[in-house]
Chain A
Amino acid sequence: DADVTQTPRNRITKTGKRIMLECSQTKGHDRMYWYRQDPGLGLRLIYYSFDVKDINKGEISDGYSVSRQAQAKFSLSLESAIPNQTALYFCATSDSGGGFQPQHFGDGTRLSIL
């Protein structure tokens, strides 16, 4: 089983719909992140959480919200989806060891908004 699991893997929906992307991990890491990846661009950070009670905005948080339901679960919501939110979304985790720990990524959710 994958250490970082994202569901769904693919989703097509319509403008204005509310969407939730889920991420769960079995690595026991405190830190979790949500990124989006667009063609020709580097990954961009949407939100990150260093523990259950610590949630922070990343560089592109507008239009998104998150919930850290437990140490192992971090979900990303699009309250009212718009077409320019069409992208590949990745969840990642890392240990809290002084900032030099690698991030472990899920395999992504491909989201298309029509």
Chain B
Amino acid sequence: KNQVEQSPQSLIILEGKNCTLQCNYTVSPFSNLRWYKQDTGRGPVSLTIMTFSENTKSNGRYTATLDADTKQSSLHITASQLSDSASYICVVSPYNFNKFYFGSGTKLNVKP
């Protein structure tokens, strides 16, 4: 069964600290993995997209890593800011591009 699981469900960190969010998937055959940021009351916004041949991709203070062998990805946030408070969603696509498997997200709260 194709699944995407994210951990932790929620996380509280202090402003300026780093954090890492995890995504494990069983989707096969794998094509690409995406990370989205969803602010409260808004739609998700794309942060990164990685194919099976990419190990890491950065977007400013956000760095995503991918290990296609172990079917794991992480999103590392450096020097967190209050504006990073949001839900972060991992999405995996198989070679059938009509499908997107969404994780349930990690809710990050950055406190001053």
Interface residues of A (CB under 8 A from B): 4, 40-45, 48, 56, 90, 92, 98-100, 102-108
Contacts and interface: CB of A to CB of B under 8 A. Distances in A.
A6 to B, nearest CB: 8
Interface string B76-100: 0000000000000100010001111
Interface of B: 4, 31-32, 34, 41-46, 49, 51, 89, 93, 97-105
Contacts, number: 47
Nearest to A6: B43
Contacts of A107: 41-43
Contact of B97 (A4, A99, A106): A99
Contacts of B98: 48, 56
5 contacts: A42-B4, A43-B100, A90-B44, A100-B32, A102-B46
B104 A106 contact: no
Contacts of B99: 45
Contacts of B46: 102-104
Chain A contact surface mostly: loop
Contact of A90 (B4, B31, B43): B43
B44 A105 contact: yes
Nearest to B104: A42
Contact of B102 (A44, A104, A108): A44
Contacts of A100: 32, 49, 51
A65 to B, nearest CB: 19
A92 B46 CA distance: 12
**Top 7 A-B residue pairs of the complex, sorted by shortest distance between their CB atoms:** A105-B43, A99-B97, A42-B102, A102-B46, A43-B102, A42-B104, A107-B43
